Structure 1
Amino acid sequence: MRRVRPPGLLVLAVLGLHLLAGHEVQRMQDGWRRDDTPPMPPRMAMEFTQAMTLSAPRPAARAPAPPPAPPAVSPAAVAHGNVPAGDTPAPAASAPDRAASEPAAARTLPAPTDATTEPALPVAPQSAASAASAAAPDEPGPGPEWPLSTRLSYQLTGHYRGPVSGQAQVEWMRKGKDYQVSLDVSVGPVSRRMLSQGTLTPQGIAPQRYDEETRVLLLDTRRSTVFFLGAEVQLATGVRERAAFGGQDAASQFVQLTWLFLTGREVLEPGRLVQFPLVLPRRQYAWQYEVLGEELLQTPMGPLATWHLKPTRVAVSGDLSADVWLAPALQYLPVRLLIRQDADTFIDLNLQAAPLQAAPESSDNPSRRSRP
């Protein structure tokens, strides 16, 4: 008499094999490395004790104009290293005087006409002490234009081979000139942490490294790291490229947007283009957000006026892009994020509760220890 195996065990075995095979294929395709990638840095110790309340946007005092940006080059030249050398690149001779005196963050570039045409990337200075590096130790710390350390909790919905739901959390943490931005996403047995850390400068956020860590139940943890090395960036694949001036990573970009509007360096008006270099794990982009207009969102804090910003292009090779909704009454923090990989793979994060903030002394005191 033939012995029949229980069908449930067979289904579990097949699912396990599919998960293992898919995990290995994805790791090879994405360039994830486990052996030589350093562990993620410890997270700052921070206590979020006070709920934010809605407030009228404070008048934005425009900060002094930073030094003019270095000359622009094409992304192809950045990728192949065909960039003029020099410690202090000068602006192009044909640039108008008005543009040279304008903050670099306030200038916009024409929208790309197709997926292969990009605006030029401004080159980071050759010197290790680049304009995107940290301020000198004897300079005063960041002023009140930076939001206090803040935690935002989101309800997650989306689609990945079918509808998905879960939770997400963004933490913006700062102590003195140091900052961290973390984005934690949890969907069933899968969780991902994105962590950016670096320093705060007169030009805004200057990332030093960016980490992504993905955990799948019963499978190995996958980690990807991008290093910002002054004149160069090292992508998650291990490839080094010339750095773009003022580059942001996948997590820091949202706080950089908050800072640009909070300080008046950028203006929220329909049709406005906000541009900065974006360094994603596999590629650098000359990134642009278009301000689409105002939208009223229903939130746990009641109806909330927001501004909707949308990328003018999509990322490629598996990189993610995101629409963002900023709330002026909550210090221009993101109350909704729609993160896409492609038309059929996306997650939609909507504010779940009032954001929590740390006391001013805990955000500004650099002597507090970090926790793992």
Structure 2
Amino acid sequence: MTGKLAMKLDTRSLIGGRMKSVRLTLLYSLWCLSAAVLSACSTPFCDAPGGLCAPQTAKTSAPPVIEYKPQPQPLPKPPPEPEAPAAEVFAVTAPGETAAPAAADGATPSAAVPVDAPRQGGRRYKVNLPPSASFDVHVDRVDADGTKWTGSATMSWHTDGSHYTASVQAGVSLLIARINLLSLRSEGTIDDYGIAPATFTEKRARRSETATHFNRDAGTITFSASEASYPLLVGAQDKATVPFQLGGIGRADVNQFGSDIDIQVGEDKEATIFRFQLVGEDEIETDMGKVVTWHLTRPPKPGTYSSRLDIWLAPGLNWYPIRIRNTEASGALTTQTITKMKELSK
């Protein structure tokens, strides 16, 4: 009896021990799962407190080192050099004419233009210059502040068909004395484009005389009062010859005034393009009677000149300039009107 009881107790102890071992094993497994280190627990039991194996840090291998060898990249191609802009060339064909076609590639032009030749101008106009004459001129001046004064001038135009001279003398008379305020003189030749100035001089009261040179061999316009140099365009004029060149254009073919007239004008320090436009037909009063004229104007051009220039040409009087008026930006007004004229022999 006693032996059977002892056997039962041993059996219960064994079963209890095994149950305890199972519970510990389950707890151990749950701990390993929660720590995500099942692989680090090599034995279910160890000497650590609680009989559980402390988790060990898993050894991780270093990532493989990949050696980077940059591949040589081809150098970018340089951008193509921009082509030089074409020079602005003014057409010089006369009305009704056509420009010569460009030479084909590889072809040799029949005649090369010399480097020092005068450059081509805006348009080539037909010109029939008026005969030589002298003029007496009445001058009216109104200053910007309203002050009025009058004066007189003489103007002359002389040509033999190959050469010319043009001059203007303007001043005021005080009692028995005359004071010259302005003196202009131009001389040169006549070519296929009309008047071709060589030298233009200008003298104003209390100022030194200035000279403008039209260097046809070099193709430039230069000045005594400035170091500037401008390309010489064909048909270029000066302030003394512009009215007579316009008269020659109208005398040759009045239809040329149907479009703007562009003329390069060399002044005392610079050369600019004067653009004249036809206003219409005017009848004006003069000491010679009523004269029918064609009225041309050069409006102000911002950045170039601020004054307005008006010229009245008389078709019935060889297209001579019967009246010239300059309106300054300040409002000052100067009007020159011919009172007497005389044609001269060559």
Range of TM-score over shorter length: 0.5 to 0.7
Tell me if 1:307 matches 2:307: no
Is the Cα contact below 8 Å between 2:157 and 2:167 reproduced in 1?
yes
Secondary structure, aligned partner of 1:245: coil
Matches within 5 A, 1:187-206: 187=172, 189-206=179-196
**Closer/same/farther in 2, CA of residues 166 and 254 from structure 1, 3 Å limit:** same
Aligned with 2:317 (options 330, 336, 340): 330
Is the Cα contact below 8 Å between 1:177 and 1:200 reproduced in 2?
yes
Secondary structure, aligned partner of 1:257: helix
Aligned with 1:207 (options 194, 197, 209): 197
Secondary structure, aligned partner of 2:253: coil
Percent identical across equivalent pairs?
Answer: 19
Instruction: Provide the C-alpha distance between the structure 1 equivalents of 2:180 and 2:230, rounded to a whole number of angstroms.
Output: 31
Aligned to 1:242: 231
Aligned to 1:255: 244
Instruction: Provide the C-alpha distance between the structure 2 equivalents of 1:97 and 1:191, rounded to a whole number of angstroms.
Output: 40
Is the Cα contact below 8 Å between 1:282 and 1:317 reproduced in 2?
no
CA shift at 1:157, angstroms? 0.5
Matches within 5 A, 1:245-284: 245-264=234-253, 266-268=255-257, 272-284=259-271
Tell me if 1:171 matches 2:160: no
Aligned to 1:222: 208
Aligned with 1:351 (options 338, 341, 344): 338
Amino acid at match of 2:138: Q
Secondary structure, aligned partner of 2:249: helix
TM-score scaled by structure 2? 0.59
Instruction: Provide the C-alpha distance between the structure 1 equivalents of 2:93 and 2:196, rounded to a whole number of angstroms.
Output: 27
Aligned with 1:151 (options 126, 134, 144): 134
Aligned to 1:285: 272
Instruction: Provide the C-alpha distance between the structure 2 equivalents of 1:237 and 1:356, rounded to a whole number of angstroms.
Output: 37
If asked which structure has higher relative contact order (CA below 8 Å, sep 6+), I would say 1
**Closer/same/farther in 2, CA of residues 165 and 247 from structure 1, 3 Å limit:** same
Amino acid at match of 1:288: R
Instruction: Provide the C-alpha distance between the structure 2 equivalents of 1:314 and 1:305, rounded to a whole number of angstroms.
Output: 28
Secondary structure, aligned partner of 1:146: coil
Tell me if 1:180 matches 2:165: yes
Amino acid at match of 1:158: R
**Larger gyration radius, structure 1 or structure 2:** 2
* Two-structure CA RMSD over aligned residues (Å): 3.4
CA shift at 1:321, angstroms? 5.2
Matches within 5 A, 1:73-88: none
Is the Cα contact below 8 Å between 1:340 and 1:346 reproduced in 2?
yes
**Closer/same/farther in 2, CA of residues 315 and 348 from structure 1, 3 Å limit:** farther
Instruction: Provide the C-alpha distance between the structure 2 equivalents of 1:98 and 1:267, rounded to a whole number of angstroms.
Output: 8
Amino acid at match of 1:153: D
CA shift at 1:192, angstroms? 0.7
Instruction: Provide the C-alpha distance between the structure 2 equivalents of 1:126 and 1:291, rounded to a whole number of angstroms.
Output: 36
Amino acid at match of 1:330: L
Tell me if 1:233 matches 2:221: yes
Amino acid at match of 1:174: T
Q: Structure 1 segments of 4 or more deviating over 6 A?
A: 89-92, 95-99, 315-320
**Closer/same/farther in 2, CA of residues 178 and 342 from structure 1, 3 Å limit:** same
**Closer/same/farther in 2, CA of residues 130 and 97 from structure 1, 3 Å limit:** closer
Q: Show CA shifts across 1:217-272 (max 9, x none).
A: xxxx5211111112111033232222233211111111110111111175345xx3
Amino acid at match of 2:271: Q
**Closer/same/farther in 2, CA of residues 226 and 90 from structure 1, 3 Å limit:** closer
Any stretches of 5+ residues in structure 1 without a counterpart? 1-81, 103-124, 133-143, 364-372
**Closer/same/farther in 2, CA of residues 326 and 149 from structure 1, 3 Å limit:** same
**Closer/same/farther in 2, CA of residues 254 and 97 from structure 1, 3 Å limit:** closer
Secondary structure, aligned partner of 1:267: helix
Aligned to 2:282: 295
Instruction: Provide the C-alpha distance between the structure 2 equivalents of 1:268 and 1:318, rounded to a whole number of angstroms.
Output: 22
Is the Cα contact below 8 Å between 2:257 and 2:277 reproduced in 1?
no
Instruction: Provide the C-alpha distance between the structure 2 equivalents of 1:337 and 1:91, rounded to a whole number of angstroms.
Output: 29
Amino acid at match of 2:151: G
Is the Cα contact below 8 Å between 2:284 and 2:290 reproduced in 1?
yes
Amino acid at match of 1:233: I
